Structure 1
Amino acid sequence: MTEFTPVASLLGGALIGLSAVLLMAFHGRIAGMTGILSGLLPPFSSDWAWRAAFIAGAIVAPLLVMAVSGFTVDYSSPVPMPWIIASGLVVGVGVYFGSGCTSGHGVCGIARLSPRSIVATAVFLGVAMLTVFVIRHVLGGF
């Protein structure tokens, strides 16, 4: 069972929103993690430096919070590794055909009132709910 952490969740969401606003304000770019990450792969984009800094911040910030607060995260999963790999590939296909990821559409696109992002986010959430239902109630779940 997942622990309910409203304060940490609110602060985390606020920081994600702030980073999206600052990236748009200073660089005119959408904070979609997939798009940012893809610019770090060869052939490298001309704006490689801010992309690397953004990804580094996304990795280092949680580590700093854990170091300062003493809070630890259990990274174990009851889901077998082949399922995790398959789900990652399915998400990657969805990102490709959906022209973006949940951070790009859900955080930035909805904030800009983009109809395409609103529909994409509704589809993400609907498929996620259906997936949880099928895994837990049809397949006997984890």
Structure 2
Amino acid sequence: MNIVNFTPISAFLGGSLIGLAVIIFFVFNGRLIGISGIASNFLTSKDNRFDNFLFLIGLIIGPIVYKIFTQQEINITISNSFYLLAIAGLLVGAGTRIGGGCTSGHGISGIGRFSLRSIIATVTFMIVGILTVLVKNLI
């Protein structure tokens, strides 16, 4: 077991901030948070377009603000082909449309509302993710 990655305090604080963001977004907008739904609505709907834009920009600006305040370097390495990543992104996008939402919508907002559909979707996401890692490690 890799104890170096065991960070319960930062995990608790991060999870609490995500939960608080879901509550604040719902109170002020009357909508649940789901990244795929917000991105889709931003691209296809005239309703709440500015709110959706601000939310998506916040996802980009958040890590930048974190880096400024903590002075920690954020290292990201892309170890696969750009084309493979683009195809994977399109498949994930198609899957979120077919599944009626993504892990953030089902896992954060849906489970918090005790939605059976979201619980089943999140369990399915987790099982497929675990199997994907296991298969990748076998190859």
TM-score, with length taken from structure 1: 0.87
> CA RMSD, aligned part only?
1.7
- After superposition, residues 71-110 of structure 1 pair within 5 angstroms as 71-110=72-111
Distance 1:105 1:19 in 2: 15
Match for residue 34 of structure 1 among 30, 33, 36: 36
2:8 matched residue in structure 1: 6
In structure 2, the residue corresponding to 1:86 is in which secondary structure?
Answer: helix
1:15 equivalent in structure 2: 17
**Deviates further, 27-36 or 80-89:** 80-89
Q: Name the counterpart of 2:127.
A: 126
Give the match's secondary structure for 1:40: helix
110-119 or 20-29, larger mean C-alpha shift: 20-29
Deviation at 1:72, TM superposition (A): 1.6
What is the identity, as a one-letter code, of the residue corresponding to 2:114? L
Q: Aligned residues, how many? A: 136
Q: Which digits, 9 at most, give the CA deviation of each residue in 1:83-140, with x for residues without a partner?
A: 3223222211210110001000000000000000000001100100010000111x1x
Unpaired runs of 5+ residues, structure 2, are: none
Aligned residue among 23, 26, 29 for 1:24: 26
Please name the residue that 1:135 is paired with: 136
Q: Distance in 1 between matches of 2:12 and 2:85?
A: 27
AA aligned to 1:82 is: Y
Partner AA of 1:99 in structure 2: G
Once residues 8 and 82 of structure 2 are traced to their aligned partners in structure 1, the CA distance between those partners, rounded to angstroms, is: 30
| 1:14 CA displacement | 1.6
Shift of 1:63: 0.7
Hey, what's the Cα distance between the residues in 2 that align with 1:10 and 1:72?
22
SS at match of 1:39: helix
What percent identity do the matched residue pairs reach?
Answer: 36
TM-score normalised over the length of structure 2: 0.88
1:119 & 1:63 partners in 2: Cα distance?
A: 34
- Which sits farther off after the overlay, 121-130 or 85-94? 85-94
> Match of 1:38, SS?
helix
